[in-house]
Amino acid sequence: MTAEMSQSRAADAEWLEDEVLDVPALDDAALDGAGVIGRALVIVVDDHLQPGASRASGAGKSVGSLVTELLEEAGFEVDAVVVVPAEEVDVRNALNTAVIGGVDLAVTIGGVGVGARDVTPEATEEILDKKLPGICEALRSSGLAAGATDAGLSRGLAGVSGSTVVVNLASSRAAIRDGMATLTPLATHVIRHIAGGDDQAR
């Protein structure tokens, strides 16, 4: 990562620092002792939330609660749920905050279709250092098999930014439930590999 990219991420994320980064971080010993795989941040891209609005829609809050529940069941400590408008700059800012905050996994929900405001993949691509196309393929394949059409047709990306695994999911409940079941073991493997504890992915 270049110095310019780091400075850009810091500037983009500044507006979210008070909301997300003030959550006390568990150190590695605490995480291991609690059997926690890692820290996660959930970013809900809410098409009903207008830029500058201070309150998320009911649907956005519901989605955030569902993803949090599934992540915690899989062994992740969820730092926060951030609900942002479907605007590229807002999605990118939230992702940069996740990376700067050092979370192990950042999951975005929504904005992966072909509509005019579906810009999550574009925002994600800007901050990725390395892509993980295998995760995207697995999510689309399992989504179609589960009958989650939006998951099967998703333009979502997956990759690594800094030491954070970043994954885009579609927003239907079927896509979320199936996607999380597919994603969590794969993300766990990558997180351990990044930490140097698993050489099998090489």
Is the alpha carbon torsion for 30, 97, 69, 114 positive or negative? negative
Q: How many CA atoms lie within 13 A of 199 on its CB side?
A: 0
104: part of which helix (H) or strand (E)?
none
Mean pLDDT of 159-184: 98
Mean model confidence pLDDT for the chain: 84
Second-level CATH architecture of 38-195: 3-Layer(aba) Sandwich (3.40)
Provide the pLDDT confidence category of residue 155 given band limits of 50, 70 and 90.
very high
Query: Does position 100 have pLDDT exceeding 80, yes or no?
Result: yes
Write out the two tokens for 51.
Answer: 């830029």
Write out the two tokens for 39.
Answer: 């820290």
74-90 tens-digit pLDDT: 999 999 999 999 999 99
Closest CA to 37 of 94, 70, 76: 76
- The structural domains of the chain, with segments of one domain joined by +, span 38-195
20-68 tens-digit pLDDT: 433 334 444 444 545 799 999 999 999 877 665 555 556 677 899 999 9
